[in-house]
Amino acid sequence: MKIRPLKRFKRIMTVPPDKSITHRALIFGALAKGKTVIKNPLASLDTLSTVDCITKLGAEVKLGNEWTVKGGKLFGTSLDCGNSGTTMRLLMGVAAGLAQTTTFTGDKSLKSRPMDRITKPLSLMGAKCEGYKITGGELHAIDYEIPIPSAQIKSAVILAALSAEGETVLRGRTNSRAHTEVMLKKMGAQIATQNGVIKIKKSTLQPTEFLVGGDPSSAAYATALALLVPDGYAYIRGVECSYERMGFYRKLIEAGAEISIDETEDNVANIGVRYSKILPFTVSETEIPYLIDEIPLLALVACFARGESVIAGAGELKVKESNRLVETAKLIKSLGGEILLDGDKIRILGKGNLQGGGAYEGNDHRMVMTAAVGCAVSQKEGIVAHPECVEISFPGFFELFE
């Protein structure tokens, strides 16, 4: 797909619903006895992988304007999680609580991603984990130090803890998105967070109703366009805005971007963005979990600031849907930008613009959308080879883009 530079960008819009919350509403609904209702769910390839997996596990899912999940009685089986890390990792936590064996598979990208970060704590709880095969049953609570600030690790252990005897305590790097904690609490789970320590007791979940807000990671692409296209403006309605998801927006504001975040309901905001002059910025390792999926886009924006921006502690990008550290550097170089990988640090030497004329050959959904924005804000047209893979998280991205 050829993408020409964009001359004008002014838009009042919405973005697709949040992927993380939709996955969780489905999985938690499958655990609860009775009917959970999901309003404004995201129907994308990743969330449909979750629908497929929980159906195989024994839940009854109805798709329509709103989705319903009838759960409560799950059994071990074999699951194909497609490209979705959240599906595989969270369902491994569920599988640990089932008395039978569950086997997992996924596409080439997913099968190359580390799962020992999940199976290690699950084994400590008493699950039998052999590669992609998990036999669960009698679990016991653990006191565990989360080594990486990953919501997927945290969520997998929390899900196993729901069926473990005793009180599980999670310490360490628990500072990642907190949808699991918030949503499970709403379903009656005994879970509490204090000073970054999470305590979970064995719980039965009650069905509930979830309303899913717009995905801030999807809204980020329109935000970058409004910010970088001269005279650009975007007003994005109804975006999920919990603290742990807003790091990208906070960083841009810090760098001089004119962005307004008006919270209209609890954790849902309308976001206004205007074309702005961006100053170079620094992202520290502690801020990474709050903008983890937006780092390639943030690196692209840094090309438009004059001077050096640094994103530190970005090592986790190596194990996303692709090695996003390497892919981001390749993309930015192909667009004429200056970028250097220095261990887990990304250094971008911004020149205030991008020459363009580049290409992104890969099939990682977030890289494709970052590349599309990159071509649109450059001086020369560019190419993305696999536009279809945006269906993983942002169905209709290119229709909206056009």
CB contact set of 273 (below 8 Å; sequence gap of 6+): 222, 223, 226, 227, 232, 233, 234, 235, 236, 257, 258, 259
The answer to whether 240 and 214 are in contact (CB under 8 A) is yes
Q: What span, in angstroms and rounded, lies between the C-alpha atoms of 3 and 221?
A: 15
Cβ neighbours around 36 below 10 Å, total: 25
Report the nearest approach of ligand S3P to the CB of residue 109 (Å). 13
Q: What span, in angstroms and rounded, lies between the C-alpha atoms of 125 and 200?
A: 13
What is the token pair recorded at 326? 């390497």
Nearer to ligand S3P, 181 or 293 (CB): 293
Report the nearest approach of ligand S3P to the CB of residue 34 (Å). 24
CB contact set of 388 (below 8 Å; sequence gap of 6+): none
> In the window 82-101, what residues touch ligand S3P (CB under 6 A)?
86
Beta strands 67-71 and 60-62, pairing class: antiparallel
Report the nearest approach of ligand S3P to the CB of residue 82 (Å). 14
Nearer to ligand S3P, 87 or 168 (CB): 87
Residue of the chain from 14, 36, 44, 150 that contacts ligand S3P (CB under 6 A): 150
Tokens 């996003």: give the residue. Answer: 324
Contact string (CB under 6 A) for ligand S3P, positions 232-271, x = contact: ----------------------------------------
- Write down the catalytic residue from 18, 46, 215, 293: 293
Report the nearest approach of ligand S3P to the CB of residue 19 (Å). 7
Stretch that binds ligand S3P, among 147-155, 156-164, 227-235, 301-309 (CB under 6 A): 147-155
Active site residue 52: no
Report the nearest approach of ligand S3P to the CB of residue 276 (Å). 27
Stretch that binds ligand S3P, among 25-33, 66-74, 128-136, 146-154 (CB under 6 A): 146-154
The answer to whether 208 and 10 are in contact (CB under 8 A) is no
Q: What span, in angstroms and rounded, lies between the C-alpha atoms of 248 and 321?
A: 19
Q: Does 20 bind ligand S3P (CB under 6 A)?
A: yes
Residue of the chain from 240, 287, 293, 364 that contacts ligand S3P (CB under 6 A): 293
What is the token pair recorded at 62? 């109805």
Q: Does 176 bind ligand S3P (CB under 6 A)?
A: yes
Q: Does 119 bind ligand S3P (CB under 6 A)?
A: no
Residue 255: what residue type? A
Q: Does 316 bind ligand S3P (CB under 6 A)?
A: yes
Q: What span, in angstroms and rounded, lies between the C-alpha atoms of 55 and 77?
A: 10
Nearer to ligand S3P, 86 or 242 (CB): 86
Q: Virtual CA dihedral for 304, 358, 370, 343, nearest 10 degrees? A: -80
| Region of residue 172 (phi > 0: left; psi between -120 and 50: alpha; otherwise: beta) | left
Stretch that binds ligand S3P, among 105-113, 150-158, 251-259, 324-332 (CB under 6 A): 150-158
Q: Does 292 bind ligand S3P (CB under 6 A)?
A: yes
**Enzyme catalytic residues:** 293
- Which residues here bind ligand S3P, judged by CB under 6 A? 20, 86, 150-152, 155, 176-177, 292-293, 316
